[in-house]
Amino acid sequence: MLSAWRLRNARAGQALVETAIVAPFLVLVLLGVSDMAQLFYYSTAITNAAREGARHGAYYDPSTGTNLYDSQSGVFAAVQNEANFVTLNLLSAPNAACPSGPPYSSNYPSTPNTANVIVCFNGQWSTTAAAPGQYVKVIVLYNYQPITPLLASFTGSSTVHIEATAVVACQGLS
């Protein structure tokens, strides 16, 4: 009877040791999955914010024949309203051409978990509005810092860059 009791306690001790060895790996995997879920969430949210900003910039009110949001500040307000959980910065470079496409490495924010927003009307990075038939382009560049270093180790940096671009034709009578 006594030997059965000792055997049971020895097995319980072995299970405790195995759990202590495996637990850090399980926690790391759990945090990695959490990082991936957050990365997916921010990617979707940033994409939605860019679309909402471009949609606002292209809006046309037929009753007044105008667009109330056809300025960089109006479009930026729409992006900010959609992505209110992120610190956003409006980048401005008057009379410059709109960035044509990835990579946008020089325009990403240096601060982790913040985003830069670029608003272009008709291919120009300026404060003027686009006329009907021209295009509004909104670029949101987010610098995501994961909780665990696993996700960032794949990119070779401590942060992961997320980019969303939306281009919409302006509405109205041309």
Are 75 and 136 spatial neighbours (Cβ–Cβ below 8 Å)? yes
Backbone angles phi, psi at 87, to 5 degrees: -75, 115
Domain boundaries, the chain: 2-169
Residue 10 — pLDDT band, cuts 50, 70, 90?
Answer: low
Look-up of token digits 């945090």: 31
pLDDT band at 49 (very low <50, low <70, confident <90, very high): very high
Flag whether pLDDT at 51 surpasses 90. Answer: yes
Q: Which residue has the tokens 């209110």?
A: 84
Question: How confident is the model over 83-130, as pLDDT tens digits?
Answer: 888 888 888 776 677 887 777 777 888 888 899 999 888 877 776 777
pLDDT, tens digit (0-9, with 9 covering 90-100), for 117-173:
998 888 777 767 777 788 889 999 999 888 876 656 666 677 888 899 999 988 776
pLDDT score of 161: 87
Pick from 27-36, 37-46, 119-128 the range whose average pLDDT is largest: 37-46
Decide if 121 contacts 128 (C-beta within 8 A): yes
